[in-house]
Amino acid sequence: MSSRDAILQRLRHRSGGELTAPECDFSVLDRPEWTTAEKLDMFEQTIESVHGEVHRTTESGWIDRLAEILQSRGAQSLLIAKDHEIGQALQSATKGREDLPHLLIYDEPVESWQETLFSEVDAGITSTRGGIAETGSLILWPSVDEPRLMSLVPPIHIAVLKASELYTTFHQAMQSQGWATGMPTNALLISGPSKTADIEQTLAYGVHGPKELIVLVIE
């Protein structure tokens, strides 16, 4: 019998009764009840401290605000989801207006349009599953319709966040959304644009992901 088998056999025949999970005490994560306005102020302050950008808008005005932002950056193309309500709204909005860039719909395998995806997309827009005020983080839950590449590849990532889906802490978000019951293969927490530093501590943005992170908050 090998040492490995001997160890496993001892574990299988251990004495002392059935093992039970220890009680977890998360009281250190308890926070006062914040209003939506307070959470939004904290989220905005925190994410802007790391070069993120927040624009407060409304359900009826977010596309106009998006158009202004993209025009200010000279964006010629915008990557959108095919079936998500954000992509659907933008496809409808482009009919009859010229202030929005060309829409690229993510509706085929990455292998078939890799060159276009990595070279010709100026910005990508995604939904979010919520935000965390305390850390200024966005929660993204990639899907077949909104794959991870949509928030990773374009130099500008625009995320749409509903103010009503802001949580005070990460722990509160996990509990409220029932993460323990199931998660996707790739859940994301995004706290600012992509950044890295070299040995001289020179900070560079956009080396491994989007150079800009812009959040449209729907109030």
Count of structural domains, the chain: 1
Indicate which CATH number applies to the domain containing 95: 3.40.50
Q: How do strand 77-81 and strand 102-106 relate by DSSP bridges? A: parallel
CA distances, 73 to each of 77, 112, 117 (Å): 11, 28, 19
Q: Is residue 23 domain-resident?
A: no
Identify each DSSP E strand in the chain by its residue range.
53-57, 77-81, 102-106, 123-127, 130-132, 137-140, 156-162, 166-167, 188-190, 195-197, 203-205, 212-218
Please check whether residue 153 lies inside any domain of the structure.
yes
User: Which range marks the domain in which residue 72 is found?
Assistant: 52-179+188-197
Mapped onto helix, strand or coil, the DSSP state of residue 5 is helix
pTM above 0.95, yes or no: no
Mean pLDDT of 124-147: 96
| Domain membership flag for residue 1 | no
Query: Would 43 be classed as within a structural domain?
Result: no
Q: Which of 106-110, 126-130, 160-164, 204-208 has the lowest mean pLDDT?
A: 204-208
d(CA 217, CA 160): 6
d(CA 28, CA 36) in angstroms, rounded, equals: 22
Q: Are 165 and 181 in contact (CB under 8 A)?
A: no
Residue 44 lies in a domain: no
Domain-located, residue 119: yes
Would residue 161 count as lying in a domain?
A: yes
Q: Is residue 99 included in any domain, yes or no?
A: yes
